[in-house]
Amino acid sequence: MGSSLSCGIGSPSPVRLDHGRSGLERCLKAALRSVAAGAAFFCSHAWSNGFNEQKANLIREGVTPTLLYDGSVAADTAGGTRTGTAYVGNLRLQLVLDGKQLFRAPGWTGFFQVLSIHGGQPSNFIGDAQGVNSYSAKSSLRLYEAWGQYSSPNGRWSFLAGRYDLSSEFYRLASSGVFLNSSFGTGPEFSQSGIGGPSIFPDTSIGARVTYKPTPSILIRTAIMDGAPVNRTDDETRFPGQDKGLLLVSEIAFLTRSESEDARGIAKYRVGRGANFPAYEDKVALGAWHYTGTFRDLNLVGTNGTPIQHEGSSGAYVLVDRTLFRAAANPGSRVSGFLQYGIGDGRVNRIGSYMAAGLVTSGLFSNRPDDEFGIAINSARNGSRYINSQVAMMVPVTRTETAIEATYLAQVNSWLAVQPDIQYVVHPGTTAARANATVLQIHFQLML
């Protein structure tokens, strides 16, 4: 893709959100402007012969750079705390280092990722607990991942150490990755646990992970991570595990491997911020996690009037991803279904349990083999301790928050994907007085 590429896009206009118009109109206009601006940037600044030659030279030397930009326009058109529109953007620079080519060290790989988060936060006006957009977070620029990994010559085991995103390998399904709602990635009973959550987007921590493959269809992973993210609100820096304890996570996955590398279509970057999925037809995974730190009870107090302290906090989850139908004439055309179920520690975490289910079809149209359409539902359930604490403060709450999502990912070409999305959130934030919310989004991704 050289400089001869004609993009057909003029000078981009800035994204302006006219609050006097309908939410749908604001969402569509802002999204179109955002996609045009991003595409124009990539066309005018990235795709030149010189750039591609430099990238090719780096790859030959053992350094593979990738630049990714994700943008979303989210509009709460009805319900929630108030109607409104927000833009969410993530810019990621990734570098993969091949140890064999760079250092004559076969089996070694290095990975670095810098993440820039900017824009608004849709949940501020929707008032939901789970998060309708998995790219939304407080604006920041940070080193997101920096790790080294050694893989054995036979590929049966590997060891990784450094700053690492757990969701790139744990609590992860290929089918659920197309959805924008955060809980279809890592369930809220785990993502909202501990002190600032586990080592996932947007705050990662330092640790180590071991993977063992006794057979090609069985993967066993265990990670030991710092119990709190590196980017702490108090700006502390300390040795991992000091004061806040450690996070231990283990997962065993049973896979039915795909006969074709193309059976799952092109790689998606929805979950794990860039790590590719190994090809599989079906997956069943069992996982468990445990924090070694001390946590305050959400409701119970001791005889001295202070909250009871609990040593440790644990949870577990089950994941199922199965191919339900595949066209014999076109392996890329398929229908898959997934299930997620997790339990958390309701003594110290708000979300006591979570469940989700969904269907995803790929290659729905013969001339659009890489497109995906999905519909899914999830439900996050408050723990009894949290509900009792709210009742004590005379705050009326519901037991669950439920989100229903329908989405269509259109892979326009190898570097651009556009994704319209609609979600209906029942009992946002489990607040009884808050009206159900209808949220429209248009997401796009540019990849270089």
* Mean of pLDDT values over 187-202: 94
Q: Residues 320, 283: contact at Cβ < 8 Å? A: yes
What value does the mean pLDDT of the chain take? 85
Lowest mean pLDDT of 3-12, 138-147, 277-286, name the range: 3-12
Tell me, what's the pLDDT at 42?
52
Tell me, what's the pLDDT at 296?
92
The answer on pLDDT for 12 being more than 70 is no
Closest C-alpha to 148, from 189, 209, 90: 209
Number of H helices, E strands in the chain: 6, 16
The answer on pLDDT for 204 being more than 60 is yes
The answer on pLDDT for 268 being more than 50 is no
% of the chain exceeding 70 in pLDDT: 81
* Mean of pLDDT values over 263-276: 40
Domain 23-447 sits in CATH 2.40.160.180: yes
Band of the pLDDT at 1, cuts 50, 70, 90?
Answer: very low
The answer on pLDDT for 157 being more than 90 is yes
Per-domain residue ranges of the chain: 23-447
CA torsion angle for 136, 285, 318, 166 (degrees, to 10)? Answer: -30
The answer on pLDDT for 360 being more than 90 is yes
* Mean of pLDDT values over 5-14: 37
The answer on pLDDT for 18 being more than 60 is no
pLDDT digits (tens, 9 = 90+) for 72-122: 999 999 999 999 999 999 999 999 999 999 999 999 999 999 999 999 999
d(CA 204, CA 141): 13
Tell me, what's the pLDDT at 150?
96
Looking at per-residue pLDDT, the higher value among 430 and 270 belongs to 430
pLDDT digits (tens, 9 = 90+) for 211-267: 999 998 999 999 999 998 876 555 454 445 556 799 999 999 999 976 654 444 434
Burial of residue 239, with CB atoms counted within 10 A of its CB: 0-12 exposed, 13-18 middle, 19 or more buried:
exposed
Tell me, what's the pLDDT at 278?
60
Q: How many CB atoms lie within 10 A of CB 137?
A: 19
Lowest mean pLDDT of 158-162, 182-186, 254-258, name the range: 254-258
The answer on pLDDT for 330 being more than 80 is no
% of the chain exceeding 90 in pLDDT: 68
Residue 395 CB-half CA count within 13 A = 12
Q: Residues 61, 101: contact at Cβ < 8 Å? A: yes
